[in-house]
Structure 1
Amino acid sequence: MPRRVFVHIGAPKTGSTFVQNMLFDNAGRLERIGIHLPVSFAAQDQAMTDLREVPWRDPQLYWTWERMLEKVRRCPGDVILTSEGFGGATTEQARRAVESLLPAEVHVVVAARDLWRTLPSMWQQSIRARSTWSFEEFLGRVETGRYEGFWEHYTANRMFFRWGDLVPAAQRHLITVPPPGAPHDLLWRRFAGVVGIPDGVCEETAPVANPSLGAPEIEVLRRVNGALGELYPHRMPYQRVVQHHLIKAVLQKRDNHVRFGVGLNRAEWVTELAEQQIKELRDYPCHIVGELDELRPTAMTDSRSPDELPEREILGAAIETIVGMIRHADHLQQQLPEEVPGVLTKLQNRAGRVKRGLKRRVMG
């Protein structure tokens, strides 16, 4: 059984992908100093969906929470579990997780980011998970208290309190996401300091691992989601097809230079929410890495909303996206071995002969 288990629960859009890439790209080096990642990131993510009993879990997935625990229990030293999905667990699900990791010393690690950046990031994340609501609809529902899921699943406070209350104060760790302009590796150094990774152990991973889409691109994707109907439901079918062939292969590779965000008409509202968030976290006994002041929005400039884009701009982005998908399909076709088309032709000819033979038998 490990001595300590660090459960990194999110929050989403707080640099988790960069931290996770650093961890798993350096898994061998970490193991040599007694810090273990017992299974792959994909396996941890699958175990998370089992722990949370989400309705969109693929029943064919191999990894469950209990199966992952078998690996965890065989690890000496320290263990890191990481998935931003962990933060969405209910209090009972979090309790089950923590109790199942005992008698190891369980630590809860969460990262927090300022709301001015979090709100547009989370809306984009929801669209990339097959949602269809507009940016204005999303903001309006959060603003009027009609979307509690934003606070429950995507911000540090509530998820941290649900998990943090299950462990002693010294084992609760809050990491603030550095503001724009900070050294790109500062978030990693903060995380590494919490889990005890010395400087120089890990080789650096490229910090930009999950690029955002621009306003026209995310609006095209939102409309595609609406047009899909029942095709490719969330989660695995959508990830396998739309994420792979549209988002990653085409949309992320565009310039994406037209950024979007919360308008200045909501600056006061966001500022008030940030002060409330800071106060709650300051009053909560925990180990803070960074500065709570970093959760106070800065550089609040006006920006375009995807809802406000002219139709011609969206149409232009859609046409260029179609061109990109044609090129992507052509590239995939060129990757096929030369003999594959011939094999397919032979199979089709053989199927035709079988069909004709059966027809002759029936008519004879």
Structure 2
Amino acid sequence: MRRKLFLHIGSHRTATTSIQQFMHENLDRLEAQGILYPLRVARHQRLINKIFAGKLKSDEVAADLSRVADERKDPIKSIVLSDEDISIRDDLSALEGFKEHCDVKILFSMRRQDLWLESWYFQNIKWQWNKALSHCSFDEFMAQREAFHWIHYDRYVRMLENMFGAENILLSVFEKDQMPGGPVVNFCRQIGLTDLQGFSDPPHVNSSMSAEMVEFVRHMPLDQFEPPERDLLRRAFEAVDRTHLGNSGKQSELLMTPRQRRKLLSEYEVGNQAVAKRYFNRDALFLDPPPKSDRPLAKLQIPSDSATLINRIVAPLLVQLVESGTIKGKD
């Protein structure tokens, strides 16, 4: 039986983690409605990495997934794989083999470039998986933005069209009014899942730290640690940010002045209009207005006085590390 394979490729900062968590929490409910979210993991990063590394072939993976679907007690109509890191790769040809056994549908979500860049900066500092971006100032980060080729949406979507066919590209615009019910519900609609009765509530995960904590973390060598240790430290930073600095609510991620924002958006305008025409039959891709000029910018600042810095962040961080068991004393 030939099934649909929905390949969710990102991009980052468009609720991908929330979508993956929702799918993982509802595996059995999904299968009851004919949707296989395989391998019992939230994100299929390891599988996708093996394909791009040449350790697995996508046509063989598709065949294996089809056999797994055949063995399920409920009739499976479609399979869903999700890994947002797919979108940042230059060459997706390793995935073309999926077409041998499945009707491949590509799901790609687009966030307006100015807001995406600001959010992506915060995430790169928070997670520090890319040494070239882990310790940059925002200006240094912006100087490297042409490396983020996937946010040239017209160019990127045309590449997807050439590889998988325009009829198989499912785009969404990451704006509240363009995602009724939110990004998780919107994703479910795209894969044909409209009845969510009995499903868990859509989660909201992977929010950013405050600008002050981000600036502190920027000077920390998290990229020198293995992921488990890095994750423990990140959790400690987040706890101090919430409980000691009091940043428990939504924090501003605005880093560009209105003039910088206008200039940046003008550089992407033609490409965005082309996508809007082809996929939404309108002139503008993003409908939300830019932030009002009087909205405060996030302040990427930490105390310059050493005593204040220690009392405000360093000492609470040490306490948090000990209390959480990350740092353990002698027995």
Question: What do residues 76-117 of structure 1 show as CA deviations (whole Å, max 9, x unaligned)?
Answer: 4200111111112233xx222132342210000100111232
Q: CA deviation at 1:211?
A: 1.8
Q: Does 1:106 find its partner at 2:104?
A: yes
Distance 1:201 1:165 in 2: 38
Sort the Cα spacing of 1:231 and 1:158 in 2 relative to 1 into closer, same or farther, 3 A. same
Would the aligned equivalents of 1:29 and 1:201 in 2 still touch at CA under 8 Å? no
1:166 to 163, 168, 173: 163
Distance 2:289 2:33 in 1: 38
Q: Which residue of 1 aligns with 2:290?
A: 298
Distance 2:61 2:311 in 1: 42
Q: Does 1:280 find its partner at 2:283?
A: no
Q: Which residue of 2 aligns with 1:95?
A: 93
Distance 1:135 1:314 in 2: 26
Would the aligned equivalents of 1:157 and 1:280 in 2 still touch at CA under 8 Å? yes
Distance 2:307 2:275 in 1: 41
Q: CA deviation at 1:266?
A: 0.5
Question: What do residues 298-346 of structure 1 show as CA deviations (whole Å, max 9, x unaligned)?
Answer: 3244533544565259954874354144234224389x9xxxx9xx97x
> What letter matches 1:88 in structure 2?
I
Root-mean-square deviation (CA), in Å? 3.7
Sort the Cα spacing of 1:7 and 1:298 in 2 relative to 1 into closer, same or farther, 3 A. same
2:214 to 198, 212, 218: 218
Would the aligned equivalents of 1:216 and 1:313 in 2 still touch at CA under 8 Å? no
Distance 2:19 2:4 in 1: 19
**Structure 2: any 5+ residue segments left out of the alignment?**
70-75, 129-133
1:323 to 280, 296, 316: 316
Counterparts of 1:147-296 in structure 2, within 5 Å, are 147-152=145-150, 156-179=153-176, 185-201=181-197, 203-225=199-221, 231-232=224-225, 236=227, 239-243=230-234, 245-251=235-241, 255-256=246-247, 259-261=252-254, 262-284=256-278, 286=279, 288=280, 292-294=284-286
Would the aligned equivalents of 1:21 and 1:205 in 2 still touch at CA under 8 Å? no
Q: Which residue of 2 aligns with 1:28?
A: 28
SS in structure 2 at match of 1:13: coil
2:139 to 136, 143, 150: 136
Question: What do residues 220-276 of structure 1 show as CA deviations (whole Å, max 9, x unaligned)?
Answer: 110113xx6x7315xx35644433x43455446653366242222302213313523
- Number of residue equivalences: 313
Q: Percent identity?
A: 17
SS in structure 1 at match of 2:44: helix
Sort the Cα spacing of 1:237 and 1:327 in 2 relative to 1 into closer, same or farther, 3 A. closer
Sort the Cα spacing of 1:280 and 1:45 in 2 relative to 1 into closer, same or farther, 3 A. same
SS in structure 1 at match of 2:224: coil
Distance 2:321 2:194 in 1: 42
Sort the Cα spacing of 1:65 and 1:298 in 2 relative to 1 into closer, same or farther, 3 A. farther
Sort the Cα spacing of 1:44 and 1:168 in 2 relative to 1 into closer, same or farther, 3 A. same
Sort the Cα spacing of 1:267 and 1:147 in 2 relative to 1 into closer, same or farther, 3 A. closer
Distance 2:232 2:205 in 1: 20
Question: What do residues 149-197 of structure 1 show as CA deviations (whole Å, max 9, x unaligned)?
Answer: 2233x56544433333212222111101124x88883323322221100
SS in structure 2 at match of 1:224: coil
Sort the Cα spacing of 1:319 and 1:49 in 2 relative to 1 into closer, same or farther, 3 A. farther
Distance 2:81 2:231 in 1: 24
Distance 1:314 1:175 in 2: 48
TM-score w.r.t. the length of structure 2 is 0.78
Would the aligned equivalents of 1:184 and 1:207 in 2 still touch at CA under 8 Å? no
Would the aligned equivalents of 1:114 and 1:296 in 2 still touch at CA under 8 Å? no
Q: CA deviation at 1:292?
A: 4.9
> What letter matches 1:232 in structure 2?
F
Distance 2:62 2:179 in 1: 36
Which entry has the higher C-alpha Rg, 1 or 2?
1
> What letter matches 1:47 in structure 2?
L
Q: CA deviation at 1:13?
A: 0.3
